[in-house]
């Protein structure tokens, strides 16, 4: 996850690494393979999904929803996993392997989709309700 900041006119932008996910294929508790875009709340926190990783009984996880909490400008961010999707081998009625980004409502609740899981393993639309 990176940020690009503009410099003076005619010079290259500066890249700042905000967070590094672990490699796909490993057992990555905090997520791997972030393929979708991010959304930002009013406080500057970023939210997104990873296709793999997460807590999944010692197997390659089936993705997470994460928050990268805002810190001082130009520094890395602290990740917080908001939801772990279940592994393919389990009855994943709540979905797994989210490939798309998230949207939010005015209350800070997050909404997204997964291509797999649900009653017929044809995907789900999910909501994560913001804790008070």
Report if residue 66 sits inside a domain. Answer: yes
Report if residue 9 sits inside a domain. Answer: no
Q: For 66-109, write each residue's pLDDT tens digit.
A: 998 877 766 667 788 888 888 756 667 788 888 888 999 989 99
Given a contact cutoff of 8 angstroms between Cβ atoms, the answer to whether 118 and 108 are in contact is: no
pTM of the model: 0.81
Q: How many domains does the chain have?
A: 1
Q: Break the chain down into helix, strand, coil percent, rounded to 5.
A: 0, 35, 65
d(CA 48, CA 100): 9
What residue numbers bound the domain in which 70 lies? Answer: 23-132
């Amino acid at each position: 996850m990176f940020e690009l900041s503009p410099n003076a006119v005619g010079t290259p932008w500066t890249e700042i690494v905000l967070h590094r996910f672990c490699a796909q294929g490993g057992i990555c508790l905090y997520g791997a393979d972030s393929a979708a875009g991010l959304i930002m709340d009013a406080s500057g926190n970023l939210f997104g999904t990873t296709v793999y990783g997460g807590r999944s009984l010692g197997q390659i996880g089936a993705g997470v929803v994460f928050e990268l909490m805002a810190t001082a400008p130009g520094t890395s961010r602290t990740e917080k996993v908001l939801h772990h999707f279940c592994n393919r081998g389990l009855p994943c009625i709540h979905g797994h392997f989210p490939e798309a980004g998230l949207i939010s409502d005015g209350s800070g609740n997050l909404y997204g989709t997964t291509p797999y899981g649900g009653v017929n393993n044809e995907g789900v639309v999910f909501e994560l309700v913001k804790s008070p």
